[in-house]
Amino acid sequence: MKLKVIISGGGTGGHIYPAIAIANALKASNSDVDILFVGAEGRMEMDKVPEAGYEIVGLPISGIQRRLTLENLKFPFKLIKSLWKAGELISSFKPNVVIGVGGYASGPIMWIAQNRKIPTVIQEQNGYAGLTNKILGGKAEKICVAYPNMEYYFPKRVIEFTGNPVRQDIVDLSSQKEEGYKQWGFSSDKPVLFVFGGSLGALTLNESMANGVDKLLEAGVQIIWQTGKYYHKRYHQKFGGREKEGLHVVAFIKEMEKVYAISNVVVGRSGALSISELCLAGLPTILVPSPNVAEDHQTKNAMALVNEGAAILVKDVDARAQLIDEVLALINDKEKQASLSQSILKLGKPNAANDIATQVINVAERHYKKFN
């Protein structure tokens, strides 16, 4: 049978990049597949998906603000228009299966599909289910999750523990070590700390580093500090130009695999995609969850690792005072590093994209046989 798939959702990289990875895995396993993405107008998926080589259609849907705004008054009209457009898309494209990865756009298209008895698959990246996925989960054929104990949010019978799809270039880091040390001008005899707060950056992590970067350098720690684009100018003016001391202050890193390959300790936020990469890389990690996310889901993501002895958690409110000391304690404790590394590796799912693609194909084939 010819496989026709709609992949819906987006809004953030944490939704978009797994969606693209799933699409790539579907194409790799089935050459006779048509894939259409559905996103939200004006959101980043409208640029990132075409860059990956896929067609995307935008819906006028948007989220609801937590305060009373004019945009909230427009929401019912945007929803009605999005549902109507979603219905038209399903009628014209005729998908065998619809995948929802979370985000505004997955709501209308998944809801229409379920009401037309078209099978749906949900991919939930976080340890806390998003609102859209919770609403739609009861009628999904399969729900692919990245954390244990998700039966609190979804029917246990449809849950598959697949993990989150991530880039495959971080699976084998040993081959990247030599190039990594050379690229950053670091010595393999000294420990390397990697600090990152996402592409835009995290103020708490940057302020914590500003408070203690000299203390780290004095202790012989080599540092790659990704400030994020938003904060780079401020911190580069103050701390840049100290590469000879072992400090690199950068806005953004493209070749993350080379940084992971040489890192002894990593400090970062606990977004779903970052955690999935760290699990594959097997790196001793200190997580500082962002408090500025829906339902505090980053803390829940982090605690899923902490409860397995796979990471250390420092609360955002405590980071400025405690983070540097936690880093130094871990840098100097090789036994703790080994323990964290072994535990976090057990949570890695290197075949996540292929496993999700298999679930999608199985769901489509069962439905096809049932009605043909």
- Pick out the chain residues at pLDDT < 70: 63-73, 75, 199-200, 294, 372
- DSSP conformation class of 221: -
pLDDT for res 279: 92
CATH 3.40.50.2000 at 3-164+350-371, yes or no: yes
CATH 3.40.50.2000 at 169-346, yes or no: yes
* pTM tops 0.95: no
Tokens of 35: 């894939």
Separation between Cα atoms, residue 215 and residue 204, nearest integer Å: 18
Q: Are 226 and 196 in contact (CB under 8 A)?
A: yes
Q: What is the spatial order of strands in the sheet that 265-268 belongs to?
A: 247-250, 222-226, 192-196, 265-268, 285-287, 312-313
Separation between Cα atoms, residue 182 and residue 285, nearest integer Å: 23
**DSSP H/E element including 50:** helix 45-51
Annotated binding site for UDP-N-acetyl-alpha-D-glucosamine: 12-14, 126, 167, 199, 253, 298
pLDDT for res 255: 87
pLDDT for res 42: 87
- The number of CA neighbours under 13 Å toward the Cβ of 300 is 16
Percent of the chain with pLDDT over 90: 69
Separation between Cα atoms, residue 108 and residue 248, nearest integer Å: 45
pLDDT for res 177: 93
Annotated binding site: 12-14, 126, 167, 199, 253, 298
Domains of the chain by residue range: 3-164+350-371, 169-346
- Identical fold between 3-164+350-371 and 169-346: yes
